[in-house]
Structures are given as structure tokens and as C-alpha cells.
Structure 1
């Protein structure tokens, strides 16, 4: 059974109001140990509001969403998971979030690489009482067949809503990134780690729920084994994710040098939602 993050865990870090995000030696050590860290309040209320407006804009991202089947995973009934994915950041609020140093530079420091670029972004929309699961996998399990030669990739997952154990928050197997890439099999519309290897990992590693409040961010390694189960709760669970790759994994059509902006660019951005040039993916 997963451990709930009731008391503060060593992989959790809190930013005080007005404090600038800076990767500390302890953050780096915890990322290397666990394969992830959580930074509470990475984005403030004003930034959270802009992200939510961008997510909910009825002529924006939601117009490009698609559904993919989950794998049942023992829950009653297979469900479809709604999501939207795109290759290029764009110049709206979500695009500025990709470029700010507290995201991009932090991921460079955590991964220990000189430069990252934007691989893709996505938004998962788990609707109340019917949202589908994202089954046990590694992100590199998806990217390896796409041509990524190295596992030097990472993701930042940001809560748009409160993401809780009840509505299907992120779950991880701590330290699983140290096992390297493991084989995945096609299940439903997704890839899942082979059952026997997954069971061995569960037997040896700590299993955590990773709840996020709006504005919290989870930084994860590309080989971290994780999932997000179905939503049977009365509250929806929407989140925004950004995937970064080390510059050595140059792979079209994703590769373009990442133009960073100042951390205040999100608040200054007047384009709440503009899907121009984002290059959306379909299942």
C-alpha cells in the first residue's frame, strides 16, 4: 500500500512567498535518491489563476483533446482518459511556464545537464467520478521507441486542481529510476511495465502518493516508475505537465532550442490561451 504524505517527507520542499526557486544541494541529493522531488508553491496565486484560465479556455487547449483507454487495473470498468499534448511551447501562458528558469533551469540542475529543450507538454483532465487512469510506466518507456537515445529526460507536473489520493493523484515507486529502463507492453491505449517486473519493483521499493495543491510542482526523472489511478471522487483532477530533454537527445519534430524568459514572464503574459504553432499530437 502507498504511504500518504501526511508529515513532511524528505523529498518535499516549500517556497516561502516571494522566495526565488533555486536548486539546493539537498534538492539535488533527494532527486538523485528518489527520482523525484516536490516543490510546494512553485507558482503563486496569480500564476495559478492564469494557468487555470488557460486550461479552461473554451477556444484553447481543450479543443485539441483526445481520449485514450486505460487498462482497468482492477477498478470497476475501463475508462477513457482525456488529455491534450503538443510539441512546441507557444507564446501564451503555458508557453511562458515552459521557459521560466524556475522550471527549465531547475530541471537542468536536477538532471545535471548543461541545457534542456522542450520535448512536449500536456494536460490531463480527470473529470469527477469518471476520469481514466494513467497506468504504471516510465516516461522513457514512451520516449525510447520515439528515438531518445539517453534517459536524460525529466518532467514537471503542476497541479491545476488539488490532486489528492481520492481523485487520482500521482503515485511513485521511490528510487525506481535507478533500475534503468524496463520493458513495457501495450495495454489499452497506453504502455505499461511488464507485470512480473512491476511486482518485483513494488516488493522492493517504497510506494508513495504524491498529492499536489494548485501551484505545487513535482519534478520527476524519466525512468521513475509512476502512475495516476482513476478518479472516483466528486472533485475533478486536472494537471499540466512539461517534459524536458537533454540537448543530446535532439529529435525532430520536438527539437528547437529553448528560449528562456524571466520568472515574471507568466504574470506579464497577455496571451492567456493561444494555440497557434503548438503542433498538437493525436493518439
Structure 2
């Protein structure tokens, strides 16, 4: 199936993010890595906003990894008008999501993973659709865009993936600590047949990955933080059949890539506009999740 171009009435002048070969790579491997999709100035704005944002910190909650560590994250449903929304709605991500979903994408949610030096916990092997299936989402036609805010290395707990594992379908998940992990008997069998990769990334790199791709990360044993923002998109045709703590189809308003720096200038300019985070009342439902 060929990827559909962005509707010119919705997003005039927007360019496709991925080549035909990169879309084919995603279909085969379950992921595609775009190096330096965001430049240094853009990612510095995101990092500065996130690490100075008290609302983001107040919004965060922890997940025990079952190994004595805890992963801290902040999660929200609607992209908003601030710096986080500028990333989630920018052409580079929305166009890429549209190409991979072969459909109009909408914002399912975004999250900031805060894996701090020495204390950031692990994530067990899991599929995102292993969680989202329970939310009334009928097919795994969802994609996540993982944006490296800090360098991601083996030492500080970079993302690990099993190449092609999205073809295995949805795997049963069960609790490990406070995280829902995939059935390890099946994961072990998959690891005997498929390639296990460490995805080391530099700030500004973006990994697009399928909702059934098995992935995990180790604890941060280094002196360096590993923060990442993940924007998750669902296909319009995959609108959940029931209400849950993540939204049903909500039209997404894409913005030009330049808006990131424009919002950043407002956030850190002389006016010091409060455009970093979202209205916590608007997204209060995302603060405490049973499965995520």
C-alpha cells in the first residue's frame, strides 16, 4: 500500500518526512531511525523547557520496574499550544506518522520519560499495543515517535528493540513490578530467532516505531540523564470503540516546522511567556494510569 500524501488543505506546503525506502524499512523491521530530524537549537529548547518546567515535574509519576528501580514519566493526552505541542504537531512528525499509518494521524498522547542519572529504572520487554488493546483500540495501527532529548547510550539505558517482532502479533502482558511486561517465555523464543538491537541516539534523533514492536530499556547506571519525549499517534480509521483514559479521534492541527523555534522564542524571550506545559486540568486524567 502506498503512503497517502498530506492533504494540502490541511497542511499547505508540507513535505513528506520519510523516503519510500524508509517506509519499507519500517514495514519490515518495525522501526525507522531518522538522525538529526531536529536541529540543536530545537532540541535545546525542548530540553530547557522540560527541565525547568515545574508543571511537568508535578505532573510526573513513577513506575516500579520490579528490579529495585523506578521510571519517572509525565504523560498528557492533548498536544496544546506550547513547546511540547509544537513538536507533536510539527510537519516532520505528523507527516511521518501519516506515511506510516497510511491514514490521517491523531494525537493519542505524548509523554516525557525522565531517566535520571544513577536512579532511572528499567522498562521490561513490552509492546505498546499490549497496553492500548485494553483501551478499545481494535488494530495495532499506531506509531510512536521517540525524540532523544539527551544522548541515549547503552550506559544510560537506551531503547532496545527486537527487529521485526511486530510481525509476531500482540503478546499477552502481565505485571512486573508496576509495569505490564510481555510474556517472557514467548519473548525468549522470539529472541532466539530475531535480532536484538540497542538503539543509541543523539539529541534530535527520532525513532518511529510500530505499536507491536517489542522494546525495553535497562536502568541508567551512568552519571548522565537520559530524557526522551515520545509522541504517540493513532490512525483516524482506528478510532477506539469505547472511552478510555486516552482520547478517541480528535482532529490534529499540524503546524509548520518553524513554529517550534517561534514558540521557543516566546517561552524564553523577554516576555517569558508560559507556553511550556499544558493545562493540568485539561489533562488531569493522564496523571494516574492503571496500565501505563
TM-score, length-scaled by structure 2: 0.85
2:16 and 2:47 map into 1 onto residues whose CA distance is: 21
Deviation at residue 71 of structure 1 after TM alignment = 2.5
2:120 aligned counterpart, secondary structure: coil
Deviations 1:221-266 (A, max 9, x none): 0000000111111111111101100112324451311111111111
Q: Distance in 2 between matches of 1:250 and 1:148?
A: 7
Residue 231 of structure 1: SS of its match in structure 2?
coil
Alignment of 1:194-205 (within 5 A): 194-205=183-194
Aligned to 2:54, the other structure's residue is in SS state: coil
Q: CA separation in 2, counterparts of 1:162 and 1:120?
A: 23
The 5 Å alignment of 1:154-233 reads: 154-233=143-222
**Counterpart selection for 1:260 from 248, 254, 259:** 254
Asked if 1:36 corresponds to 2:20, the answer is: no
Partners of 2:256 and 2:50 in 1: how far apart?
22
Structure 1 regions of 5+ residues with no counterpart? 1-19, 73-77
Which consecutive residues of structure 2, in runs of 5 or more, have no partner in the other structure? 1-14, 268-274
Helix, strand or coil at the partner of 1:239 = strand
- 2:65–2:177 Cα contact (<8 Å) kept: yes
Deviation at 1:175, TM superposition (A): 0.2
Deviation string for 1:58-104 (max 9, x for gaps)? 423112111110022xxxxx111111111111110110111111101
SS at match of 2:221: coil
Q: What is the CA deviation profile of residues 34-59 of structure 1, one whole-angstrom value per residue up to 9, with x for unaligned ones?
A: 10011011101111111012211242
Separation in 1 of the partners of 2:52 and 2:85? Answer: 15
Distance of 1:55 and 1:90 partners within structure 2: 15
Moved over 3 A (4+): 277-280
Is the Cα contact below 8 Å between 1:34 and 1:175 reproduced in 2? yes
Q: Does the CA contact (< 8 Å) of 1:116 and 1:245 recur in 2?
A: yes
Q: CA RMSD in A?
A: 1.4
Alpha-carbon contact 2:84-2:277 (below 8 Å) kept? no
| Equivalenced residues, count | 258
3-state SS of paired residue (2:237)? coil
| 1:281 and 2:274 aligned | no
Query: 1:103 is paired with a residue of what secondary structure?
Result: helix
1:4-15 map, 5 Å = none
* 2:103 is the counterpart of 1:108: no
Find the residue that maps to 2:238 and give its secondary structure.
coil
Match of 1:70 in 2: 65
| Secondary structure, aligned partner of 1:248 | helix
1:84 alignment partner in structure 2: 74
Q: 1:143 aligns with which of 110, 132, 152?
A: 132
Spell out, residue by residue over 1:14-40, the C-alpha distance to the aligned partner (whole angstroms, 9 max, x if none): xxxxxx763111101110111001101
Whether the 8 Å contact between 2:118 and 2:221 is mirrored in structure 1 is: yes
User: Where does residue 23 of structure 1 map in the other structure?
Assistant: 18
What's the secondary structure of 1:262's corresponding residue?
coil
